[in-house]
Amino acid sequence: MSFRNSSRMAMKALRTIGSRRLATRNISVMSRNVAASTTRFAPRMTAPMVQTRGMRVMDFAGTKENVWERNDWPREKLVDYFKNDTLAIIGYGSQGHGQGLNARDQGLNVVVGVRKDGASWKQAIEDGWVPGKTLFPVEEAISKGTIIMNLLSDAAQTETWPQIAPHITKGKTLYFSHGFSVIFKDQTKIQPPKDVDVILVAPKGSGRTVRTLFKEGRGINSSFAVYQDVTGKAQEKAIGLAVAVGSGFIYQTTFKKEVVSDLVGERGCLMGGINGLFLAQYQVLRERGHSPAEAFNETVEEATQSLYPLIGKYGLDYMFAACSTTARRGAIDWTNRFLEANKKVLNDLYDNVENGNEAKRSLAYNSAPNYRELYDKELEEIRNLEIWKAGETVRSLRPEFNKH
């Protein structure tokens, strides 16, 4: 079959798959029906799965992993399971907001504990938490909670631990959304009491997205881990809480694996690395005489508005197949250059996460009393970079923002 025909077939198959994928949420249907009709350009198929009650064993490129899901915890089961519990959300940043509102919407008993009259206190009131009823200063909220969900900033968890620790009494559960405080205990000095369950649920995304996906009736992917299981029920509680706070599919990890992968991810592909790549390409294009609009469109706008969403929906091969053959050839050819250059940086990053240097840096900076003002200044500097000023204008033309 000629390349042209196979490409045409591929695009037809992609269109079919594309529409069918959008219509079909059920993984098993997709992997059965579509696998037969795919061609080599079609997006990679979903992992075949063997469903057992409450947990699926799935094959991730040859490695079998367990996956739990929100469907196993319908609201009535959640409410019944946690009927004798009060979830005390300590800290109301992006995660406290998302997780707290989701758990409250699902009918669980939830209170919030933050500094009185601080930014979070005010935000919590805006979100309907009532001072003296569901909103309290930290220690009072902990005294009312049976499941203490420490969602303070990681630096604040260290700073406040001496006040919080005495309230983490036998029979309570200590919950985190990051392994940071427990794993870097040589720096955080956080040693959980020996007579409580210690668990984590780490949403793989911003707390804002934890909330929006929940409201869309879906759920964010989260990982869970058990650090200490005194009751013999720590894992079940962690999975139930993962659903309660808005998770869709839930993966097992350990506190160490979670914190190292998370610190690497946010400094790498998710935030720091993409910032560096955007800046590098934009600066090269501008230094070689391209206009700000052309440089921004070619670097950020096309990526976020056209190509990256295709990766998210159907995989990278689908996105490559959806671009020109000219682009495809070049992209494949240059991949290794970027791979080699970035692996050097990422291994250096991984070393600095593993040896605690990144934790040290984060604790030092985020413990400053004026940490918010310091970030405001740094983020203002980023906002005022030419790339993002050009981006403001490009974005303003989008229908949803069009002011012109």
Ligand X SMILES: NC(=O)C1=CN([C@@H]2O[C@H](COP(=O)(O)OP(=O)(O)OC[C@H]3O[C@@H](n4cnc5c(N)ncnc54)[C@H](OP(=O)(O)O)[C@@H]3O)[C@@H](O)[C@H]2O)C=CC1
Ligand Y SMILES: CC(=O)[C@](C)(O)C(=O)O
Q: Which residues are catalytic?
A: 178
> What is the pairing mode between strands 63-69 and 55-60?
antiparallel
Phi then psi for 193, rounded to 5 degrees?
-55, 150
Structure tokens at 291: 């206009």
Q: Is 266 labelled a binding residue? A: yes
Q: Which residue among 37, 71, 163, 206 contacts ligand Y (CB under 6 A)?
A: 206
Q: Which residue among 107, 131, 137, 205 contacts ligand Y (CB under 6 A)?
A: 205
Instruction: Give the shortest CB-123-to-ligand X separation in angstroms.
Output: 7
Q: Which of residues 132-171 bind ligand X (CB under 6 A)?
A: 151-154, 156, 159-160
The full 3-state SS of 169-222, as one line of letters, equals: CCCCEEEECCCHHHHCHHHHCCCCCCCCEEEEEEECCCHHHHHHHHHCCCCEEE
Nearer to Mg ion, 20 or 256 (CB): 256
Nearer to ligand X, 102 or 299 (CB): 102
| Contact residues for Mg ion, defined by CB under 5 A | 262, 266
Structure tokens at 175: 């919950």
d(CA 252, CA 242): 11
Instruction: Give the shortest CB-314-to-ligand Y separation in angstroms.
Output: 23
Query: At 383, which helix (H) or strand (E)?
Result: helix 371-383
Instruction: Give the shortest CB-1-to-Mg ion separation in angstroms.
Output: 44
**Phi-psi sector, 263: left (phi>0), alpha (psi -120 to 50), beta:** alpha
- Tell me if 72 sits within 8 A of 54, measured CB to CB: yes
Q: Which does 92 bind (CB under 5 to 8 A by kind): ligand X, ligand Y, Mg ion, none?
A: ligand X
Nearer to Mg ion, 18 or 268 (CB): 268
Q: Which does 55 bind (CB under 5 to 8 A by kind): ligand X, Mg ion, ligand Y, none?
A: none
Q: Which of residues 186-205 bind ligand X (CB under 6 A)?
A: 202-203
Q: Is 262 labelled a binding residue? A: yes
Q: Is 380 labelled a binding residue? A: no
Instruction: Give the shortest CB-301-to-ligand X separation in angstroms.
Output: 25
Q: Which does 270 bind (CB under 5 to 8 A by kind): ligand Y, ligand X, Mg ion, none?
A: ligand Y
Residue count of the chain, please give it.
404
Q: Is 65 labelled a binding residue? A: no
Q: Which does 148 bind (CB under 5 to 8 A by kind): ligand Y, Mg ion, ligand X, none?
A: none
Q: Is 302 labelled a binding residue? A: yes
Angle formed by the axes of helices 255-267 and 325-354, to 10°?
A: 130
> What is the pairing mode between strands 55-60 and 49-52?
antiparallel
Stretch that binds ligand Y, among 198-206, 277-285, 305-313, 367-375 (CB under 6 A): 198-206
- b/e 233-255 (16+ beta carbons within 10 angstroms → b): ebbebbbbbbbbbbbbbbbbbeb
67 to each of 81, 161, 202, 260, 278, how far by Cα in Å? 20, 33, 14, 21, 34
Instruction: Give the shortest CB-385-to-Mg ion separation in angstroms.
Output: 23
Comparing CA positions, the residue from 22, 145, 19, 166 lying closest to residue 84 is: 145
Q: Which of residues 242-281 bind ligand Y (CB under 6 A)?
A: 262, 266, 270
SS3 259: helix
Instruction: Give the shortest CB-48-to-ligand Y separation in angstroms.
Output: 28
Q: Which of residues 76-115 bind ligand X (CB under 6 A)?
A: 91-96, 114-115
Nearer to ligand X, 92 or 320 (CB): 92
- Tell me if 17 sits within 8 A of 38, measured CB to CB: yes
Please report whether residue 93 would count as binding ligand Y according to CB under 6 A. no
Q: Which of residues 7-36 bind ligand Y (CB under 6 A)?
A: none
Q: From the annotation, which residues make up the binding site for substrate? A: 324
Interface residues with ligand X (CB under 6 A) are 91-96, 114-115, 118-120, 151-154, 156, 159-160, 177-178, 180, 202-203, 206-207
Interface residues with ligand Y (CB under 6 A) are 204-206, 262, 266, 270
